[in-house]
Structure 1
Amino acid sequence: MAYLKLGLCLCLLGLTNALGGRRVGGISQDARPVDQEIRELVDRVKGDILTQLPSNEERSMFEPISYKTQLVNGVNYFVKIQTGVNSYIHVKIYSNFRKTDVSLTGLEVGKTAEDPINYI
């Protein structure tokens, strides 16, 4: 039985390391640059993001810049997106582990390049 518990702990530790060192429930410490996987995730909810943006929010660009994650029953992605020359938004996107269920679950406007990505 002790070996089973040890094996389970090591398995969870390996999963935690594979997920960038984040713990279940906690948001990752450092923002990471966006890669192709995150761009595709953002593209899947881009229509929802644009629909929820206030009409006075600049929209001359739409470029995901950086992101953090939170491991839940799936993954929450907190993404900084540049929408104009000096205009940024932060969005929260939920995805199940298989990425078959992806949805926009939060949006904050009025952000700057210097604003850290925090929990939404």
Structure 2
Amino acid sequence: VTPKAWKMKCGGTSETKPATEETQQIVQHVKAQVEEKEGKSFDVFTAVEFKTQMVAGINYFIKVHVGNDQFLHVRIFKSLPHENKPPELTSYQSKKGKHDELSYF
């Protein structure tokens, strides 16, 4: 087992990767929840980069551009496919900048 694989098996987060079409679809699932919590709507809600954490499903830590120089970090839980549940917002951090590093929260 390589150290990288070991880290993933033990629940560590992956390296940061550029956002994909899948991560954009995942953030779209929770956009309304974030807007409700923030008390405002976002014209821009674009996934920029992400990390994952293997648990009994996958935690996604995603940096989201919400317009101008404003970003959010969202943590979304995606359950195992056989559970047939939509992605769920578990936490988020507002007032983030473009260069703020994604980390576990």
Q: How many residues align?
A: 101
Tell me the CA shift for residue 23 of structure 1: 3.0
Structure of greater Rg = 1
- Matched letter for residue 38 of structure 1: T
Structure-2 residue corresponding to 1:106: 91
Q: Does 1:23 find its partner at 2:9?
A: yes
Tell me the CA shift for residue 47 of structure 1: 1.0
Normalising by structure 2, report the TM-score: 0.83
Gaps of 5+ in 2: none
Query: For the Cα contact (< 8 Å) 1:75–1:94, is it kept in 2?
Result: yes
Root mean square deviation, CA, Å:
2.2
Find the partner of 1:83 among 66, 81, 105.
66
Structure 2 CA distance for aligned equivalents of residues 74 and 32 of structure 1: 19
Q: Which has the higher contact order (CA 8 A, sep 6+)?
A: 2
Structure 2 CA distance for aligned equivalents of residues 54 and 115 of structure 1: 23
Matches within 5 A, 1:24-43: 24-28=10-14, 30-43=15-28
Structure-2 residue corresponding to 1:52: 37
Deviations 1:57-82 (A, max 9, x none): x8342111000011111100000001
Normalising by structure 1, report the TM-score: 0.74
Moved over 4 A (4+): none
Q: Percent identity?
A: 27
Query: For the Cα contact (< 8 Å) 1:24–1:70, is it kept in 2?
Result: no
Structure-2 residue corresponding to 1:73: 56
